[in-house]
Structure 1
């Protein structure tokens, strides 16, 4: 499955939310994500454009692998996410296991996230309003789509961005932005 995604900066969060609600979106979740990124023992994931993390959303834990980007216009990449057990003990055990296998922690990315859902162009979409520690507020538009639906999903995202008045696209990942903020690009 492909994660087809675009990210924007916006100074008008309230206006974007108002336009989003007028399009029929609903607030699905208000949460905090804590993402511990790791580098692999056998290759540099930053060099290859891949990412691997342990994500914590409340008590829930997930391993997520993100493949290389498909294009420069979006942040489209293969995404594989595996749910783990819940709780801090599971997260600690997962971190110890990765260390034992030679994975090295890179950086912790924390964000407050409001997730809105809607359907456009036949796609279930998420619109996420993120406040990322050390790098600021963003709006992410995302569709999970099979390979054969990549182009229509991409077009749907860009149309929604235009409808919401989003123009300041941000092509960097949160991982990359946090590393830059820490002077570790």
Structure 2
């Protein structure tokens, strides 16, 4: 699958929640996410715009690989292949996967912690969308609009649909940086040598 998403800083949580409610969204429970990102031993993921992480959601681990971005006219839109799988019960916290990645030469870059609440629609024009409200530690509050498509030919249409939902939710000024990049920038600002 290809994940197509756009992210926005949120200045008024209550307004966004009211708009989501008015559009008939269904809210999920708030989850604690802890995403540990890794650097490939011979390829610079920052340059290739790829990502490999172990995600722990309320203590249950999965692995995610995000491929290179598909080039889009709208540079604030991210479209790329996403592969994700849950780790088995013998590695529910991801410790074994962490050891495997380190043994293979990967290095840990940073861990991004956030509280996430997801919203979706059971039916209607937004039923294939998800919206997440992310409170990212030391970084801020953001909303992500996400749509999964089967192939690259569907990306252009999804761009228009994301723009329509963005307008309906009153979101503006998209954020192009990843949570990882913002976290690393914040850590750099807070380091003693800054």
Output the TM-score relative to the length of structure 1: 0.93
Residue 103 of structure 1, aligned match among 102, 106, 115:
106
Unmatched 5+ stretches in structure 1:
none
CA root-mean-square deviation: 1.8
Aligned residue number for residue 18 of structure 2:
18
Aligned residue number for residue 137 of structure 2:
133
- Partners of 2:51 and 2:37 in 1: CA distance: 7
Render the CA deviation track for 1:148-167: whole Å, top value 9, x for unaligned.
Answer: 32122221111111111101
- Partners of 2:112 and 2:66 in 1: CA distance: 15
Aligned residue number for residue 181 of structure 1:
186
Preserved contact between residue 149 and residue 155 of structure 2 (Cα < 8 Å): yes
Unmatched 5+ stretches in structure 2:
190-194
Which 4+ stretches in 1 moved above 4 angstroms?
Answer: 86-90
1:161 counterpart = 2:166: yes
Output the TM-score relative to the length of structure 2: 0.88
Aligned residue number for residue 149 of structure 1:
154
- Partners of 2:90 and 2:23 in 1: CA distance: 36
Preserved contact between residue 121 and residue 156 of structure 1 (Cα < 8 Å): no
Q: Counterpart of 2:19 in 1: which secondary structure? A: helix
Within-5 A mapping of 1:1-185: 1-70=1-70, 71=72, 72-86=75-89, 90-118=93-121, 121=125, 123-147=127-151, 148-183=153-188
